[in-house]
Amino acid sequence: MSKSEKQDMEFQLIVSIVNKGHCGSVIDSSLEAGAEGGTIISGRGSGIHEKAKIFSFTIEPEKDIVLTLVPSDRTQKVLEAIVEATKLNEPGNGIAFVVDVEKTTGINHLIE
């Protein structure tokens, strides 16, 4: 693939926010579905399903945020794999969303 072809590729970013320790499921399922990797960031939740109380203290559970950049033609397959592996359709398991990416750089391994 030439440099100009690489720059013309369309990418999307899948952002998955899951309970701490579940990032492995996101990464493994996305790799099996055609992604080439991901970036894990730590965070904490503050949604309606996030707060628990222990001895009158409010606990906000830690979260793993996984950023997965994929070519647009693979997005749906990768997203479906993440949802299935992490049971995101069940309350309290997290969320995932897709963001269109306007430009990318540093994806040099796509140049042959």
Q: Of 16-30, 32-46, 73-87, give the lowest mean pLDDT range.
A: 32-46
Domains detected in the chain: 3-103 (3.30.70.120)
pTM for the model stands at: 0.80
Over the stretch 50-95, which tens digit does the pLDDT of each residue have?
555 556 555 557 899 999 999 999 999 999 999 999 999 998 889 9
Percentage of the chain exceeding pLDDT 90: 61
Mean pLDDT of the chain: 84
CB of 30 closer than 8 Å to CB of 82: yes
pLDDT for position 106: 83
Q: How far apart are CA 87 and CA 78, in angstroms?
A: 14
pLDDT for position 82: 98
Residue 15 Ramachandran class (φ > 0 left, ψ -120 to 50 alpha, else beta): beta
